[in-house]
Structure 1
Amino acid sequence: MSEHPNSALARDSYDALAKGDLAHIRDNLLADEVVFHVPGRGPLAGEYRGKDQVVGYLGQFTELTEGSVRFEPDSILPGEDRAVVTVRVRGERGGRTLDDRGVHVFRITDGKISERWSYPEDLYTTDEFFA
């Protein structure tokens, strides 16, 4: 049985992140008017609009963790225009370790990621890690 296209798209985004291939994400996976919603009060919190801002945001994870950040999807639940991913996020920064679970909700339009919402399990820990 083949993987649902929305699951495959979400999985492809995590695979590209693991390889540091932000160009693949920008050029092949993101809609032109993409929006990422990042909760919290830390330096990475906010809304990122358009491919350049989203790719810049994703690049900050790599930069701030000196390449140690990993997004590990546990399960991907596809829907008609969505993919819901339970994900584990790990990384190291300045002698601190991040190991958090959460949920990413992707909205998919015409085969591209048009929106993503992040819901960390422990928002305060994530904020502190990146502060």
Structure 2
Amino acid sequence: MSEHPNVALARDSYDALAKGDLDYIRDHLLTDDVIFHIPGRGSLAGDYQGKEQVINYLSRFTEAAGKSMRFEPDSFLASEEQVAALLRIRGERGDRVLDERGVHVFRITDGKISERWSYPHDSQIIDEFFA
């Protein structure tokens, strides 16, 4: 059984982020009017609209997280317009260690990511990790 195309799209976004390939994400995976919703009260929390803002957020995220940060999807739920990734979020920053679970929900429009909601199990842990 082949993978649902929306699952492949979400998986591609995680793979490109792990490689630091933000150009690929911008040029191939996002709609022009994409929106990312990042919960919490930390410096990275907020809504990011448009490719420029989303890529800026991802750049700040990867810079703050360093090369140790990774999203490890456990499973996916997919439909024609959405995909949810149940994932483990891991990273290290100096003496801080992150090992958290969460969900990303993607809205897919014409084969690209048009919206993403992040739902960490505990957004305070994420805020503290990036503080």
Scaled by the length of structure 1, the TM-score of the pair is 0.97
Q: CA deviation at 1:84?
A: 0.5
1:48-87 to structure 2, matched below 5 A, reads: 48-87=48-87
Aligned length: 131
Equivalent position amino acid for 1:116 in 2: R
Cα distance in 2 for residues equivalent to 1:18 and 1:70: 6
Query: What's 1:16 paired with?
Result: 16
User: What's the counterpart of residue 41 of structure 2?
Assistant: 41
Q: 1:76 corresponds to which letter in structure 2?
A: F
| Aligned-pair CA distance for 1:45 | 0.2
2: CA distance between counterparts of 1:65 and 1:18?
Answer: 11
**Equivalent position amino acid for 1:112 in 2:** K
Q: Distance in 2 between matches of 1:83 and 1:66?
A: 27
% identity of equivalent residues: 69
Stretches of structure 1 that go unaligned for 5 or more consecutive residues are none
Structure 2 stretches lacking a partner, 5+ long? none
User: Partners in 1 of 2:105 and 2:77 — Cα distance?
Assistant: 10
The question of whether the paired residues in 2 share the 8 Å contact of 1:62 and 1:68 is answered with no
Shift of the alpha carbon at 1:94? Answer: 2.7
Q: Hey, what's the Cα distance between the residues in 2 that align with 1:62 and 1:18?
A: 9
Residue 122 of structure 2 corresponds to 122
1:3 corresponds in structure 2 to 3
2:119 partner letter: Y
- Cα distance in 2 for partners of 1:110, 1:29 equals 10
Partner of 1:101: 101
* C-alpha contact (below 8 Å) 1:106/1:117 kept by paired residues: yes
SS in 2 for 1:11: helix
Report the more deviating stretch, 31-40 or 54-63. Answer: 54-63
Q: Kindly report structure 1 stretches of 4+ aligned residues shifted beyond 2 Å.
A: none
Q: TM-score, with normalisation over the residues of structure 2? A: 0.97
Contact in 2 for aligned 1:32/1:51 (Cα 8 Å): yes
